Structure 1
Amino acid sequence: MLRNLLALRQIAQRTISTASRRQFENKVPEKQKLFQEDNGIPVHLKGGVADALLYRATMMLTVGGTAYAMYQLAVASFPKKQD
């Protein structure tokens, strides 16, 4: 059993290490131009729709979490009445 696992590990390593890598185009200069433009948009929103959605989701979670924390503090500050 152990011998089979060792053989499988060797095969997996060989397959991964000898596979040809996919080449990607360097997009850094394009992104640098985009983020260096002086168009009045904050840098955290210059990435487009995805950045705007992430920003709004983060703000909603922040405001919601703060409201929930305040609510829990208010509930915890008033002890339940014993009958």
Structure 2
Amino acid sequence: MYVDFPFQGFRQIAQRTISTASRRHFENKVPEKQKLFQEDNGIPVHLKGGVADALLYRATMILTVGGKTFGIF
């Protein structure tokens, strides 16, 4: 009876994830992002990331105002 049998899959996964070889080559997008964030178009820097940044900002403001209101009353 082999006790280590249930953990063989975990060992294989761990060995694969520790590998130092790169599996994918990613394109460097830093220069594009630098141009986007440095252009002077009147949009605050914390909203220049697009829709996701705007939604995150609005959700943060709603939770902040709601929390303060809840704390006061």
The TM-score with structure 1 as length reference comes to: 0.69
Identity of aligned residues (%): 68
| Matching residue of 2:39 | 37
Larger of the two Rg values belongs to structure: 1
Unmatched tracts of structure 2, length 5 or more: none
| Matching residue of 1:10 | 11
Over the residues paired in the alignment, what is the CA RMSD in angstroms?
2.0
Task: Name the one with the larger helix percent.
Answer: 1
Aligned-pair CA distance for 1:12: 2.2
Q: Give the AA of the match of 1:58.
A: T
Instruction: Specify which structure has the bigger relative contact order, considering alpha-carbon pairs within 8 angstroms and separated by 6 or more residues.
Output: 2
Unmatched tracts of structure 1, length 5 or more: 72-83
2:29 to 27, 30, 35: 27
| Matching residue of 2:50 | 48
Residues paired across the two proteins, number: 69
Moved over 3 A (4+): 7-10
